[in-house]
């Protein structure tokens, strides 16, 4: 299961006023990592697809694309990302 470190939860509305939430953070252990291009490799800063469900207590988030993330340390300072 991929893990996000130094993550923040972002909430936005689209042009039609529909709310969306996604995560920004550093990914580790993503199964679709491409070492040749560096995409999704360990430590890569990513923005997830829309969050379908998130459980902060259990440290799990599920995205619209179906990826389940383990949530590591939360970013205390947005400027770190």
The pTM of this model reads 0.83
pLDDT by residue for the chain (81 residues), tens digit each?
999 999 999 999 999 999 999 999 999 998 888 777 767 889 899 999 999 999 999 999 999 999 999 999 998 765 544
The pLDDT assigned to 76 comes to: 77
Report whether 60 contacts 39 (CB < 8 A). no
CB atoms within 10 A of CB 26: 19
Give me 18's structure tokens: 């529909």
């Amino acid at each position: 299961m991929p893990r996000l470190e130094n993550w923040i939860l972002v909430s936005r509305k689209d042009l039609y006023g529909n709310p969306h939430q996604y995560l920004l953070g550093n990914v580790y252990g993503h199964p679709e990592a491409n070492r040749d291009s560096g995409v999704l490799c360990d430590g890569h800063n990513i923005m997830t697809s829309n969050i379908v469900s998130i459980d902060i207590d259990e440290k799990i988030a599920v995205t619209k694309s179906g990826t389940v993330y383990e949530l590591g340390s939360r970013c205390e300072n947005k400027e770190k990302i």
